[in-house]
Structure 1
Amino acid sequence: MSPVSERAAQVRFRRALSLMAMTLVAPGSAQLAAGDRRVGTIALRIWLGLWALGAVTLLALLVNRGLALTLAFNPSLLLAVKLAMFVLAVGWAGLFVDAWRIGAPLSYGLQHRRTAVAVNGVLCFSVAGTLLFGAHLVGVQRDLTIALSGSGGSSAAHDGRINVLLMGGDSGEGRWGLRPDSMTVASIDDETGRTVLISLPRNMAKFPFREGSVMDKQFPAGFDCDGCYLNGVSTWADDHTDLFPRSDNPGVDATIMGIEGITGLNINYWAMVNLQGFKDLVDAVGGVTLNVRQAIPVGGLGSDVTGYIDPGTRKLNGFETLWYARAREGSDDYSRMARQKCVMSAMLSQISPQTVVSNFASLAQASAAMISTNVPASDFDTLAGLALKAKSQKISTVSLVPPMINTGDPDIDVVQGMITDGIDRAEGTAVAEPAKTKKKNKQSATATQPVTGGSLGSMSEGYAANQAEDLGASC
């Protein structure tokens, strides 16, 4: 090849690289430069339209921060975005291939030809791959939203609060949802996100149901029968489904009737957490750091103890966190309730948006397998927004346990008074204690109380995490 031909080939090679760069920066511009106005105009208009849509969306998000959550939990919109990203990936890759064709690759040297193919391939697969991966994540979010969404609940606040019943159940065969292992009402201020966790012991008995409810008509004097405890309401209802002809979850609905009768609160939503699947969620976020005050046995509950979780401030994996929350060997139910609250507090404070983004696929998979709920997809954004607010707030706790409450025959007036007082304190409307009393209580909660079963306190004196104005400080 003559020097003139070589220079001409180099010019064509540089032009080919320029066309690829133009396609990367402004899809369609390479076709316009080559005279293909139809394809170039369509592609460039789509590109500019996407930029305009992005700018408008960004402006709207700056004005209304909650809009991001609304968009993120809209299945129809997510499907449209997913399909659009697929089309963009294919179309953009096609424009790169066309830009390579326009560059006349057969008209320059073999080395330049190989380089052009390599550059075009890298650009094509990088852009298309990024869009396809984004479409996959959008699809995961949509699938998660659909998998978790229910058809009940109410977003209307009661006295300015949203009340969510959180239940933990075993995932063993035939046991899902039958006997809730733990029951906690998260009462959330609908403006500030300030949360009060109200825990109910599973062995509570002789309690009333919500007035006028199906269960109230069956047990007008309260749930007073042989072996009738709060965690058995679900089993009783599932054995009498004829009393709940319109219910998809008789056990849950009956349990809510009991919890509303006990607490005097109106439950907006419920969520059942699969405790066995919970460990996958913890593993998906890389573990959770907890203050292990005493060696926690792994095992028990009718089986052999196979080991212990050593004391100290330690980052626990999913398996260890599950046993930290569930262990009863050498402990009691109320110590376990305190530890469960510490797990909730730690996960709320430690799981950051960066962790969610970087582990999104595995988190979504674990969440879909872990949670059953009646929250409709249209209300996910409301609850997610409250969760973000709650992250920066103190969490208070009220537990209906000894020594304050006789779980075998609870005084409902005392129970509801404790709940009202706990909520008033969280909202800053309660009458403040004298400074000396507050100081004494703080000292007894941190310095003089024993540690039982890994929780600060004892059953006779009460556990610090079960009655706390700042749960994080009590754990």
Structure 2
Amino acid sequence: MSVISPPSATARLGGPAVVQERPMRYPDASSRGMMTRRGWWLVGLNFLIPGSAQVLAGNRRLGRFGIAATLLMWVLVVVALLFALLAPTAGLSIVTGAWLPDWLGLLRPLPLLIAQGLLIAYAVLWVVLTVDTLRLVRLVKTGGGARFAIALVAVGLMVVASGSAVYASNAVGTVRGTISTIFGASGPTVPPSDGYYNILLLGADSGEGRDSMRFDSISVVSVNAETGATTITGIPRDMPHFPFSEGPMQDQYPNGFEGHGDPSCGWGSGVNQLTNAVEQCREDRGTGLYPDAEAQGSTPAIEATKDAAAGILGIEIPYYVFVDMHGFASLVDALGGVDINVTERLPKGGGPSYPGEPVDDWATGWIEPGQQHMDGDTAQWYARSRYTTSDFDRMSRQRELQEAILAQFTPQVVLTRFQEVAAAGADIIQTDLPQSFIPTLVDLGLKAKEQPVQTLELTPAGGIDEFDPDYAYIADLIQTTLHPPTPTPSGE
């Protein structure tokens, strides 16, 4: 009685011809050399064109889905690069949801949320495809040493590819979180005033020991809406008897700010006393003067300071940016430090405990003259130090530091230190600029990078009497600075 042997694997697959013509799908498993070469090919194809290994040797439906997902991701990347190179403002408008109307402002994070979800999904898909590819390789049929090398390379490539997608997703999430933390989700976008966007820039220290938020640095950034040309005007924090623009504070002080004589509220009529006059010295904490301030992402004291700066300079100031100096060092460190040319020796430390105390008794360190690359702590003391110099000198150093930080905001620095910069910014910056203004802000920032920043200090060095400023002259000076007369053909 004859015994019928079962058909061989080669016969079941259609014979030797099929194995030779389609070795990826129907390999000769008895040949370790062939299985090893096939394994390397499948791993390489899975990395270069995810899904192609499945199309050639496994589940074609899964493979086609992987290839389609890969093509979609590449299309999105190319489109994003084209927008970044050719139309950055339009691209930012799309991804930040700035194109949405104000009544849909809460949906503005949706485009970035979708992008984050797609990247995570693609990372997971790559892991699935890699695991399936290793199954198709059939490592036990490959050469003894090759099986470990193939597995190691496949896992390494998966970590690189999936890890890149996860990192990109995390970066997108950081952008979304930073935007939501710093900028208001909705709010009106105010058109430029006389061709300029004017933004109040405030610096203050909210650290321990402060009983109120007194502004240490007050300036107005005026950006030309067409060219991006930027002028920073520094306002001394002790500037006296200043006027307000039209509003509740002008109604309170029609003849200029008189300050308070109540010791519990602080003395003096300088700008730095506005917080006391509006919040510390009123039972309602200023909500009666500025009832909408909190809803607009501001405070009554900040709104009063806006009206003060607008009254002093004679321009409209719809927005503010507040920088908490208590965490300022982290932003400088995130940018990799700043370069400053120090012109005089400056002490670090909180100052003398009694009048006339020698500097060496209280100084915790010194900032020496010369060109320096400052870390965050040194830069913070450079901006703060005042006990051996005047407030006006400190204003000048703060402006110098602002320009150095702006110069450090290059695409290379931001991209390589993105997470640190974003985290630091979210911790120390607050503003009432709406998210819809972000594309315009970035566009103006790119234009401004190509031009020198013009500075104007309302100090004695700038021709301003510190005890009795001429506010009509200051308003004229600002108008002349922002709108210089057009030269006549004769050059006059």
* TM-score w.r.t. length of structure 2: 0.82
Aligned-partner Cα distance in 2 for 1:330–1:430: 44
User: Corresponding residue for 1:12?
Assistant: 35
Amino acid at match of 1:288: V
User: Corresponding residue for 2:72?
Assistant: 49
Q: 2:364 aligns with which of 298, 302, 306?
A: 306
Q: How does 1:457-468 map to 2 (within 5 A)?
A: none
1:215 matched to 2:249? The reply is yes
Task: Give 1:73 deviation, angstroms.
Answer: 4.0
Amino acid at match of 2:31: A
Task: Give 1:107 deviation, angstroms.
Answer: 2.1
1:271 matched to 2:321? The reply is yes
Give 3-state SS (helix, strand or coil) of 2:31's partner. Answer: helix
Aligned-partner Cα distance in 2 for 1:283–1:72: 28
Aligned-partner Cα distance in 1 for 2:84–2:379: 37
Aligned-partner Cα distance in 2 for 1:46–1:174: 56
Q: How does 1:142-221 map to 2 (within 5 A)?
A: 142-150=176-184, 151-152=186-187, 154-173=189-208, 175=210, 178-211=213-246, 213-221=247-255
Aligned-partner Cα distance in 1 for 2:449–2:351: 33
Compared CA separation, residues 389 and 48, structure 1 to 2 (3 A): same
Task: Give 1:147 deviation, angstroms.
Answer: 0.9
Task: Give 1:175 deviation, angstroms.
Answer: 4.1
Compared CA separation, residues 177 and 284, structure 1 to 2 (3 A): farther
Task: Give 1:302 deviation, angstroms.
Answer: 4.4
Task: Give 1:11 deviation, angstroms.
Answer: 0.6
Q: How does 1:63-102 map to 2 (within 5 A)?
A: 63-71=86-94, 73-74=96-97, 75-102=109-136
Q: Conserved in 2, the CA contact under 8 Å of 1:396 and 1:422?
A: no
Amino acid at match of 1:185: V
Compared CA separation, residues 301 and 390, structure 1 to 2 (3 A): farther
Unaligned runs of 5+ in 2: 1-27, 98-108, 262-267, 354-361
Compared CA separation, residues 153 and 261, structure 1 to 2 (3 A): farther
Aligned-partner Cα distance in 2 for 1:246–1:65: 33
Amino acid at match of 2:384: R
Give 3-state SS (helix, strand or coil) of 1:70's partner. Answer: helix
Q: Conserved in 1, the CA contact under 8 Å of 2:29 and 2:35?
A: no
User: Corresponding residue for 1:246?
Assistant: 292
Q: 2:147 aligns with which of 113, 120, 125?
A: 113
Query: What do the CA deviations read for 1:31-64 (whole angstroms, capped 9, x no partner)?
Result: 1112522111222122222233333444444431
* TM-score w.r.t. length of structure 1: 0.84
Compared CA separation, residues 309 and 72, structure 1 to 2 (3 A): farther
More displaced 10-residue stretch of structure 1: 397-406 or 15-24: 397-406
Amino acid at match of 2:323: V
Task: Give 1:138 deviation, angstroms.
Answer: 1.4
Q: 2:277 aligns with which of 236, 250, 253?
A: 236
Task: Give 1:411 deviation, angstroms.
Answer: 1.8
Q: Conserved in 2, the CA contact under 8 Å of 1:19 and 1:99?
A: yes
Aligned-partner Cα distance in 2 for 1:430–1:234: 43
Aligned-partner Cα distance in 1 for 2:430–2:142: 62
Aligned-partner Cα distance in 2 for 1:175–1:431: 54
Q: Conserved in 2, the CA contact under 8 Å of 1:170 and 1:181?
A: yes
Task: Give 1:172 deviation, angstroms.
Answer: 1.5
Give 3-state SS (helix, strand or coil) of 1:276's partner. Answer: helix
Q: Conserved in 2, the CA contact under 8 Å of 1:31 and 1:37?
A: yes
Amino acid at match of 2:375: N
Task: Give 1:327 deviation, angstroms.
Answer: 1.1
Q: Conserved in 2, the CA contact under 8 Å of 1:92 and 1:128?
A: yes
Amino acid at match of 1:113: R
Amino acid at match of 2:162: A
Q: Conserved in 2, the CA contact under 8 Å of 1:153 and 1:269?
A: no
Q: 1:283 aligns with which of 333, 348, 359?
A: 333
Compared CA separation, residues 366 and 401, structure 1 to 2 (3 A): same
Q: Conserved in 2, the CA contact under 8 Å of 1:325 and 1:343?
A: yes
Aligned-partner Cα distance in 1 for 2:73–2:172: 17
- For the pair shown, the structure with the greater C-alpha radius of gyration is 2
Let me know the Cα RMSD of the aligned residues: 2.3
Q: Conserved in 1, the CA contact under 8 Å of 2:50 and 2:126?
A: yes
Give 3-state SS (helix, strand or coil) of 1:243's partner. Answer: coil
Q: 2:63 aligns with which of 40, 59, 62?
A: 40
Question: How high is the sequence identity, in percent, across the aligned residues?
Answer: 35
1:417 matched to 2:451? The reply is no
Give 3-state SS (helix, strand or coil) of 2:203's partner. Answer: strand
Compared CA separation, residues 430 and 369, structure 1 to 2 (3 A): farther
Compared CA separation, residues 177 and 62, structure 1 to 2 (3 A): farther
